[in-house]
Amino acid sequence: MLEPLNSHILTAAPGISHGFFTRSGGVSSGLYGSLNCGLGSHDVRAAVLENRRRVATHLGTDILLTSYQIHSARAVLVEQPWGPDDQPKADALVTRTRGLALGALAADCAPVLFADPGAGIVAAAHAGWKGALGGIIEATVLCMEQAGARRADIIASVGPCIGQAAYEVGPEFKATFLAADARNTAFFATSEARAKPHFELAGFVMNRLREARVGCLDNASVCTYSNEERFFSYRRTTHRQEADYGRHISAIALV
């Protein structure tokens, strides 16, 4: 059974179907158990396609689209579906076409779902630290505006990603953020027990949304690293030296 988390503001929006899907309810096994939606993983392809079909059905459609994510600030307007091997290289998808579910894949990075219900426009973005710092949030909002959305009417929700307690980084990582804006120091915590800084990804993404003047925000994030039964985690896999990892999906559609 699929067990997505939901944003209360997106749930209340008319004509919008969405979900921050966990790893539950799919057909994959082993490291990928069970709702692995990542075509770039080494999972059995038929299992991944079935998992994605289940997500699309849950959202009330039969089309689920994702991009080839490259940690960029590139947002693409989607007007018609493509095949699973024809994904554009981008980190955000925007559409005003009903029946197209847009998804963002993640395994510690922050998924962000957007909607302007009045304009009939939705978007899904993948915001890792590099994309978030580089401007993927701002690019998504701009692409929505160009499609007809009003910035003040956009609602957005940040989904499950790695929590600050698990996100230890090096001093050069922090220096990169401070070089961009000294105020970014607010998203790093260091204590005597933790010699290295720990980064708050969800908080940073929320702040970028606020600075983009998005109308209404919601933080639906829980830690992917520390909730193994519910979420995949790239960092957890790396610490265990496992061969690969699954990707969960966060998706949204106009229905």
**pLDDT tens column, 54-79:** 999 999 999 999 999 999 999 999 99
pLDDT band at 195 (very low <50, low <70, confident <90, very high): confident
Task: Tell me the pLDDT band of 192, cut-offs 50, 70 and 90.
Answer: low
pLDDT at 15 exceeding the cut of 90: yes
46 is in which domain, residue-wise?
Answer: 8-163+200-254
Q: What is the pLDDT of residue 19?
A: 98
pLDDT score of 197: 95
Confidence at 116, pLDDT banded by 50, 70, 90: very high
Average pLDDT over residues 37-51: 98
* Amino acid identity for residue 67 in this structure: S
Q: How much is the average pLDDT of 28-41?
A: 98
179 part of a folded domain: no
113-125 average pLDDT score: 98
Q: Confirm whether 169 is domain-assigned.
A: no
Whether the pLDDT of residue 84 is over 90: the answer is: no
Whether the per-residue pLDDT at 194 is higher than 70: the answer is no
The pLDDT-based confidence of 85 (bands split at 50, 70, 90) is confident
- Give the pLDDT confidence score for residue 56 in this predicted structure: 98
In a domain, 242, yes or no: yes
Q: What is the pLDDT of residue 202?
A: 98
Q: pLDDT grade, residue 191 (50/70/90)?
A: confident
By CB neighbour count within 10 A (0-12 exposed, 13-18 middle, 19+ buried), where does 176 fall? middle
pLDDT reading at 210 higher than 80: yes
Average pLDDT of the residues in 217-221: 97
User: Which pLDDT value is given to residue 190?
Assistant: 86
Query: Does residue 126 lie within any of the structural domains?
Result: yes
CATH number of residue 108's parent domain? 3.60.140.10
pLDDT, tens digit (0-9, with 9 covering 90-100), for 124-155: 999 999 999 999 999 999 999 999 999 999 99
- Is residue 83 in a domain? yes
**What confidence score (pLDDT) does residue 115 get?**
98
Mean pLDDT of the chain: 97
Instruction: Look at residue 195 and tell me if it is in a domain.
Output: no
Domain annotation covers residue 156: yes
pLDDT at 193: 64
Q: Determine, yes or no, domain membership for 120.
A: yes
- From the list 96, 53, 115, 151, the residue with the least C-alpha distance to 252 is 115
Task: Please give the tally of structural domains in the chain.
Answer: 1
Residues 6-26: what's their mean pLDDT?
A: 98
